[in-house]
Structure 1
Amino acid sequence: MQFNRSTVTTLLMVALVALAGVAGFAGSAAATTHTTTLAGDGTDTVADFNASDDEYLETDISSDGTDFATDGTSTAKMNISLDGTDYAQLETAITDDTTASQTLNLSEGELDDLPGDAGETVTVNVTTWGTDGNGSVTTAESTFAVDITFQNSYAVASVDDSSATIEEADGPGFFSTSTITSLWSSSSDDPADLHTYESTVGIDGSNTTVTVLDETTNGSDAYSESIRDDIESGDVIYGASVGVNGTPVKAFYDEVDTDKIADGDTYAVYDSSNNVWTVHTGDAQDGATEMDVYLSSQSYTSVDSFDSSAVNDLFVGDLDMGVSSLVSNFGFGSLSTFSVLEALGVGMIAPAGGASLAGLALVAGRKRLGA
């Protein structure tokens, strides 16, 4: 079959048009956003809130006079508050002062620290106003209520100085337990501040991820001091601790190591750049409507409310840590928390033939001591 120049040109044009269509479709799909327009009459609602950067809230600010030039307004402002606390602010220049109205657009991602339980509806106040070049209010404030309903998969708890327990740790003496322990551990010589938080958060079973924002004055310092200096992204955290419903759970630094969790595990991730914890629910929360979250700048072995057998099951049983790793990460003095025989790979049944348990422990220890 032969093609003349006209036929080839036609085929090329068809192909280019088809490719352009595919590219346009892909571009429009990638740029998908959603905007909720707020009327400002007290009946506004926002559904399925999860602080997405691609979801927007939109409202108009109107001048008091004929136009913004008459008001003398050069800047439009908006904030969103809950119970007297501001959670998002917007400031933008008036684009045309001959008009009497301008639309303000705010990403819901700016509300990522707004607290709320999964499925909960919280009522926020939206306030708009305008100022002149000196910062004086020239367009009067207008405030209206908006109901925001959280997605069932999303919940946020915010920690501040009033909701956290913060104690400055005393420097230990040379012969104190903590000082002796530090000689066997890679942790900092300076004791970290005792920084704990516990709260009950509403969830939708294992469908919810809980974000805990630490906005205390010393939260980031407390965790940075308690977590090893040489920790890397994906490493398990030992110096700080996380518990769910009174049970210790694995915590990871910056991102989860998927090789160290199983389907249905409950675990936490600490974002060191923002001092934010996320707790991922698992099978243990199936059907539950609330969950108790506990965070501490103390090591797992220092939290009195954790049962030692649960700590042992987590690190020796689940993470398969041997004695050397336990000493390195928790300190020599913490070994009383763990089953050393299990960490050495020794069962609790005495060996046959009269062989000593200590002898068997020595043999097994060659395999597990450095695990």
Structure 2
Amino acid sequence: MHPPHYPSGQDLERLAERAIVFLNRWTTLVPCFWGPSSEGKTYFVRAMAARLGACFLHVILKNMKPDDVLGAQVLTPSGELRVELSWWVKEAMGAAQGGRKVVVFLDELDKADDDLIAPILTFLRDRTVYGVALEDEEAIREGKEERRIYLVAACNPGAFDEAMRCRLAFIWWPTDAAGYYSVAGSSPLARAAVEKAAPLLAERRRQAERQPPPMPEFTKATVDALRRGEQELLRMARDERCFILSLLMPPSLAEAVEEEMAHRQEQPPLDLLVEQPQELARLLARLELPEFVATAASALGHALKVGKREALPAITAAIYRGALAPVAAGGKDAGARREALERLSAWMAERPDKEPLGELVADALSRLGGEAFFEALARDGLLRLQEDGSLGGELVELLQALQEPVQGALIP
């Protein structure tokens, strides 16, 4: 998201703050301001910390040595190897342990000495110093604890260490006339000065546009961020979501993901779909692959998460009804049957991400007993018990066409 549609002034500040909080909560990437000196990066981060009610720790990395930045391992007279943490690490951990939020601003990251790169990379990746964790990352990732220490970095445009670049999400912070007017406030003199400086500011802006931040790459960290932060992204205003997606992946992919999320916002919430499987069936019937599979898996997973195991038979029936929707709409038409087979095959396909869910659902259904499951399918017209005691119905016919054993195939 670069010129001519890049946000400015208070809009940029609002979006940047939203992105910093999101990236720290849900990703392993550290937000990093990319822009020329004296454009208000430090001022903004300090003000953001105040709005969050957080301590502000300013760490200027230029000319610092590893011991100054992170700390050192010290051998005591008794022969014990002890970690002596740097001042800001101690302050950050102390404030967080006392229940306060902390914003750590790693300034002039691009000017860090070469011997700082390795320890900083380890710190950015793991949030640890000599094996000492700033916070309980596992508890934060599982949602048991909230993030208290927020990392923010800043750098000037120019060449950047490749390994370091992959640990950062760059927020472009160019010269912005709107930002100057915001600082000027209602002062006639200050506003007049900004107006007189308009040509100078415009030239600075053009220079900044010639050195935009590196294009974000699509990595496993991107996928992890989408997985962990999906629900928050769905609740955001569209401009906030678009801005954050632009920091996580290339523009064309960010646009495609935004379209997908905008469509999901129009869907009923998972709680409603779990409570009303008929709504789930109607929704799944109109979804295309692979969204059909993703939504079906989400419904099953949500039912397990909220302890609604008794709803699993009806939800499973709704999923198969959604898979067979083309046949219901097109009858015995060959095209409709082929489409239904594709949907059924896609749902039943073995994938690593579905294995844990399949095991949980199978376990839950076994506890409920097979009767509840088959009764739900029969009520929905998907199965019927024939006179000879065998199973029949639309679902059985399609499973046989796929050459799948009926009972084993009914569990996702």
TM-score, normalization by structure 1: 0.27
Which protein has greater RCO, CA pairs closer than 8 Å, 6+ apart?
2
* Higher share in helix: 2
Q: Which has the higher strand share?
A: 1
Q: TM-score, normalised by structure 2?
A: 0.25
